[in-house]
Amino acid sequence: MITIENLTVSYGTTKKVIDTLDLELPDCTIHGVVGLNGSGKTTLLNAIYGLKKTDSGRILYNNRKINKKEMSLLVTENYFYPNITGREYLGLFDNLAFGTDKWNALFLLPLDDIIDHYSSGMKKKLAFMGILKQDKPVMILDEPFNGLDIEACRIIRQVLLRLKDRGKTVIITSHIIETLTNLCDHLHYLEKGKIILTKNKEEFGAFEKEIFASIENKNETLINELTAHGPDHLPD
Amino acid sequence: MIRSILYIRLKQAGRVATGLGLGRCLFLAGVSGFLAFLLFLQTAAFPNSLYAAGIYLAVIFLLQLNRPDKQFLKITFIHHKVIFLAEYLLLLIPLLICLAYHQLYQLLTATFVIAFLITHVDYKARHRSMNTMIQRVIPASCFEWKSGVRTSLVLMGVVWVTGMYTSFFIASVPVVLFFLGILPLGFYERGEPVQMVLAYEMGAVSFILYKIKMQVVLFTILSMPLILAFCIFHPDIWYIPVLEFLVLITSQGYLVLVKYAFYQPNTKPGGAQVFGLLGTIGLIIPILIPLVWLLSVRFYFKSVSNLNFYLDDYN
């Protein structure tokens, strides 16, 4: 069980991105964190992984401080070191049991080509293979479906569901709810650094309705006002 | 447009200066002042002024080739070449002042013309998927070398083979060693993703020592045949390439330390670039070598403290 207690994370001295957040993530489950751009999803994941200093609060894994040795992180940016091949990247992770070519039969990546030549979707698949090779009990995935085609999304979903059955705990963020509803066991809605809504699998329908309703109400009036004069006469 | 771009550049420079801190900024100002003084002395007489202007313009040319914002400026501004020219003329001010002071007006005009021509250079090096036996022999953990060798294998190979074949000339091996010593300095410019640092599963001290060890081992493998060839042909002065090798080894270590002292995932930190350049200048102007050694000690502690943030769980 991952337990997040009273977590606060700020940028600078004033801007609180995560605000006294409490969350419990049971083992062998997949958790989706949904929120608008800038709601704090990536900051939350970075704080869990220890890449962002926290102002207060603590993050525990089975009642002790969480450790990087137990986690793997897939970051949202598709950045790799230049001029190395996919195989060389995967070669960095020390796991002899991992069958790189067998897994690649699923992803069909040109592993002997340098990563700079990969498309963004291919880079995402390579990063995911890196996560699989690390084989850590907690997998933290920031926007793993960005830039992927339908087939790759389906493969990753299937793989994650199998890994959950094998005991992994997965935390995924996305700003698109639909990608998470048929994968996650729990969905958490993050707004202004706080989890304002948590639903289990059975309540996902209601979750989507509530979220969409709140977004639509907020923006309707402003969109009407801004587009009232046509595109050539947008108000200042 | 130019004013707003230059204003942004000023703000960026301010941010880099803030990141470096007052002490380092003063130190760099001192080094820059020293280099400007050398430039002033060198431009006093004609042949040297030509070399000084040539080196200065070569640096501007390399900047034009490698600047990461070129694509952005090309897409955003129609008159991007005017922006390049304005920026390069600003950077050339010390040289222009020196040339004007020494009344070298022909060279001054040539500098303007070459700066203008440089703004029209739009070459982008193609990334090559070269997989030779050499890349396979380099350990997976030395990805900087895998990457660097992939881009400069032909150059390194030509220089190395030339050095071996001409090792009976007294100057050949020392010059080739110097060149091979400078080449890997470019391998360590960019910060890797944090996953690649964590993949070593080591604490900060072990990680730094391992990276330096591998850098020294690979550079030794590259240099040793050349040194042996020199010793066969010139046994009475065997110590020349050995001493040069020792100086180059310390620069290689310095480079690793600079990279991780300023390490941030996925970036080319300004501080690392500035102090990395100082390491290269240290090889060209030997007076600065003791300074590089002193800085190495400083950057060892800084890199350990910086990496502890990422690797504390492996300590």
For residue B52, the model assigns a pLDDT of: 86
Residue A14 pLDDT > 70? yes
Per the CB < 8 Å rule, is B192 touching A69? no
The span from the CA of B167 to the CA of B176, in Å, is 10
Q: Kindly write down the DSSP assignment for every residue of B103-158, as one continuous string.
A: T-HHHHHHHHHHHHHHTT----PPP-----HHHHHS-TT-HHHHHHHHHHHHHHHH
The span from the CA of B147 to the CA of B135, in Å, is 9
Show the low-confidence residues of chain B (pLDDT under 70).
124-129
Closest residue in A to B310 (Cα) is A51
By residue count, chain A amounts to 236
Candidates 3.40.50.300, 3.40.109.10, 3.50.50.100, 3.40.190.10; CATH matching A2-228: 3.40.50.300
Nearest to A80 among B128, B140, B193 (CB): B193
Per the CB < 8 Å rule, is A85 touching B193? no
Per the CB < 8 Å rule, is A68 touching B194? no
pLDDT (tens digit, 9 = 90+) per residue, B171-184? Answer: 889 989 988 888 88
Q: Is the CB of residue B196 less than 8 Å away from at least one CB of chain A?
A: yes
For residue B128, the model assigns a pLDDT of: 63
pLDDT (tens digit, 9 = 90+) per residue, A28-73? Answer: 999 999 888 888 999 999 999 988 889 999 999 988 988 888 999 9
A-chain CB neighbours of B313 within 8 Å are: 50, 67-69
Contact B248, B219 (CB under 8 A): yes
Q: Tell me the whole-structure pTM to 2 decimals.
A: 0.78
Contact B251, B186 (CB under 8 A): no
For residue B125, the model assigns a pLDDT of: 61
For residue B216, the model assigns a pLDDT of: 92
Residue of A54, A61, A64, A114 to mutate for B, most B C-beta atoms under 10 A: A114
Nearest to A81 among B131, B135, B190 (CB): B190
pLDDT (tens digit, 9 = 90+) per residue, A197-226? Answer: 888 887 777 777 777 777 777 777 778 778
pLDDT (tens digit, 9 = 90+) per residue, A92-114? Answer: 888 878 889 999 999 999 999 98
Contact B259, B301 (CB under 8 A): no
Confidence of residue A13 (pLDDT cuts 50, 70, 90): confident
Residue of B201, B313, B314 to mutate for A, most A C-beta atoms under 10 A: B313
Tell which residue, A152, A142, A127, has the closest CA to residue A172. Answer: A142
Per the CB < 8 Å rule, is B131 touching A85? yes
pLDDT (tens digit, 9 = 90+) per residue, A131-186? Answer: 999 999 999 999 999 888 889 999 999 999 999 999 999 999 987 787 888 899 99
Residue A235 pLDDT > 60? no
